[in-house]
Amino acid sequence: MKINKTTLALSLGSLALAGQVQAQENKLYLFNWTEYMDPAIIEAFEEKYDVEVVQNYFNSNPEMFAKLNAGGVSQYDVIVPSNYYIPRLIETGLVKELDKSKLDNLDNVMEQFADPSYDPGARYSAPYQWGVTGIIYNTETFPEAPKSWSLLFDPEVNSQHPFGVMGDGQVSMGGACAYLGHGYDCTTMEAWREAAQLLIETKNRDTFSGFTDGTPALQQLARGVTHAGLSYNGDFLFYREENPDAFAKMEFMIPDEGAEMWVDAMMIPKEAPNPDMAYKFIDFILDAEIGAQLSNYNYYASPNAAARPYLDEVLTQPPVQPSESDMERLRFTPTLEGEQLQTFQQLWSEVKSR
């Protein structure tokens, strides 16, 4: 008898202890892409509001979305999804409508981001950064690389060297669609089927090294595991700055068949533990100087008009700001919903499992 009570008390005690480790204090939980935030900005924010910022990272939109569904909706205060996942988040009720009276710096946002197609009226999201997904390749291996998706999808253009494509199916399928002439933002069944077929063939080539998310793909390139892969313009510049030797021979290319342009935006999950602080954080990022500091740190174009005077020169030229002709060929990844989304997912899971 006695021992039973003791054990009960003991186990309850240790459970309570474990719970205490997690006790809420003044904290802001930020769920962001990897390598996407200047630590100095976090420090400045922590100091200004006397708060501790807890950062968690994701490498792809599907990963972020899954985490929110698996309880994350009540665990994070600010999330930074990409344009094509924003409608999905709104529709599933995972995010809050923004109270714009709490965001004084919202006026700093460029006009074209004030009423975006992915979130009409910008009711739920405030833009963070925008960028381009392109092919990064080794110029020593491919001295005469075509400005085309064929570098990945045509076995005759690249017959000998390992390469990878994106882990997020929508981006890889888009690339395959573009290569096949259906445009990056294809959504028809016919185009998808063909693209999936191409991806299955591509995947079964000896030189295919895997489905990799954008940021890790750069590390693989740097280490020589792959010689061509898909990644983002800003991350490319960021890592080149950090490790000039490894990236000296690398080049960023926007295929002429068209490629992805994306906008990442800040949103507040429906059951965010600390929404007041979340507003403060979003407003902080929308500040002109902080916005510029962010772009200067991670080499992505800023959606912040007021930040322009503070931007480094590198941010005004390619690849951060693509040439006009490239710009015309860039597309948003299409937003999928309902049956279309399910069809897409079946196709993609087919690609991955065959």
Partner 1 sequence: MVEISQHAMRRRAVVGEMRHLLFSVTPGAAWIVIFLVLPSAYLMGVAFMTNGPYGLPQMPLTLDAFERLAGFGFLGWSPGNLYTLLRSLWQTLLSTTLVVLVAYPIAYYITTCRERWRPIMLLAVVVPSWTNQVIRTFGWMNLLAPGTPLSELAEGLGLISPNMGLYPSNFAVTLGLVYNFLPFMVLPLYAAFEKLDTAQVEAAQDLYASPMRAFWHAVFPQTLPGLLAGIVLVAIPAFGMYVIPELLGGGKGMMLGNLVATQFSGGSNWPLGAAGAILMLIATFIGLFAMRRIGKRLGGGEEVVI
Partner 2 sequence: MNKRALKRGLTGFWWLTLFFLYLPLAVVVLFSFNAANSSASFTGVSLRWYRRLLGNEQILSAFTNSMVLAIVSSVIALVIGCLIGYGMYRHRHRKLGWLIVLIYLPIVLPDIVFGISEMAFFVQIHEATGLLKPGLGTMIIAHVTFQIPFVALIVYSRFVGLDPTLFEAAKDLYATPFKRVLHFMLPTIKPALISAFFLSFTLSIDDFVISFFTAGPESATLPIYIWGAIKKGVSPEINAIASLMIAAVAVAAILSLIFSRRRQA
Encoded tokens for 198: 């191409």
For position 4 contacting partner 1 by CB under 8 A, the verdict is yes
| Residue 69: other Cβ atoms inside 10 A | 11
How far is residue 213's CA from residue 231's CA, in Å, rounded to a whole number?
8
Smaller CB distance to partner 2: residue 210 or 334? 210
Distance from chain centroid for Cα 79: 11
For position 17 contacting partner 2 by CB under 8 A, the verdict is yes
Handedness of CA 273, 286, 168, 124 (dihedral sign): positive
How far is residue 31's CA from residue 325's CA, in Å, rounded to a whole number?
34
Task: Give the interface segment with partner 2, choosing from 31-39, 172-180, 193-201, 294-302 (CB under 8 A).
Answer: 31-39
Distance from chain centroid for Cα 290: 20
For position 222 contacting partner 2 by CB under 8 A, the verdict is yes
Length of the chain: 354
**Looking at 156, 190, 313, 339, which residue binds partner 1 (CB under 8 A)?**
339
How far is residue 76's CA from residue 42's CA, in Å, rounded to a whole number?
16
185 binds, among partner 1, partner 2, none (CB under 5 to 8 A by kind): none
Task: Give the interface segment with partner 2, choosing from 103-111, 195-203, 221-229, 315-323 (CB under 8 A).
Answer: 221-229
For position 39 contacting partner 2 by CB under 8 A, the verdict is no
**DSSP-assigned beta bridge partners for residue 58:** 33
**Looking at 5, 19, 93, 325, which residue binds partner 2 (CB under 8 A)?**
19
How far is residue 60's CA from residue 211's CA, in Å, rounded to a whole number?
12
**Looking at 35, 168, 194, 287, which residue binds partner 2 (CB under 8 A)?**
35
**Looking at 144, 223, 313, 325, which residue binds partner 1 (CB under 8 A)?**
223
For position 62 contacting partner 1 by CB under 8 A, the verdict is yes
Smaller CB distance to partner 1: residue 112 or 342? 342
How far is residue 100's CA from residue 89's CA, in Å, rounded to a whole number?
19
Site for partner 1, residues 89 to 108, rule: CB under 8 A = 91-92
For position 237 contacting partner 2 by CB under 8 A, the verdict is no
DSSP H helices in the chain: 2-21, 39-49, 61-69, 86-91, 150-153, 169-179, 189-203, 214-222, 233-242, 244-247, 275-286, 288-298, 324-329, 338-353
**Looking at 18, 101, 144, 156, which residue binds partner 2 (CB under 8 A)?**
18
SS3 call for 161: coil
Smaller CB distance to partner 2: residue 21 or 324? 21
Task: Give the interface segment with partner 2, choosing from 51-59, 90-98, 119-127, 275-283 (CB under 8 A).
Answer: 51-59
160 binds, among partner 1, partner 2, none (CB under 5 to 8 A by kind): partner 1
How far is residue 163's CA from residue 225's CA, in Å, rounded to a whole number?
8
For position 74 contacting partner 2 by CB under 8 A, the verdict is yes
For position 26 contacting partner 1 by CB under 8 A, the verdict is no
How far is residue 283's CA from residue 109's CA, in Å, rounded to a whole number?
11
**Looking at 80, 98, 109, 217, which residue binds partner 2 (CB under 8 A)?**
217
For position 304 contacting partner 2 by CB under 8 A, the verdict is no
Task: Give the interface segment with partner 1, choosing from 16-24, 104-112, 223-231, 324-332 (CB under 8 A).
Answer: 223-231
140 binds, among partner 1, partner 2, none (CB under 5 to 8 A by kind): none
Encoded tokens for 84: 């094509």
| Residue 176: other Cβ atoms inside 10 A | 28
Q: How far is the CB of 131 from partner 2 (least distance, A)?
A: 18
How far is residue 114's CA from residue 123's CA, in Å, rounded to a whole number?
9
How far is residue 231's CA from residue 30's CA, in Å, rounded to a whole number?
23
How far is residue 105's CA from residue 287's CA, in Å, rounded to a whole number?
6
Residues that bind partner 2 (CB under 8 A): 1-4, 7, 10-11, 14-15, 17-19, 21-22, 29, 31, 34-35, 54, 56-57, 59, 69-72, 74-76, 212-213, 215-220, 222-224, 243, 246
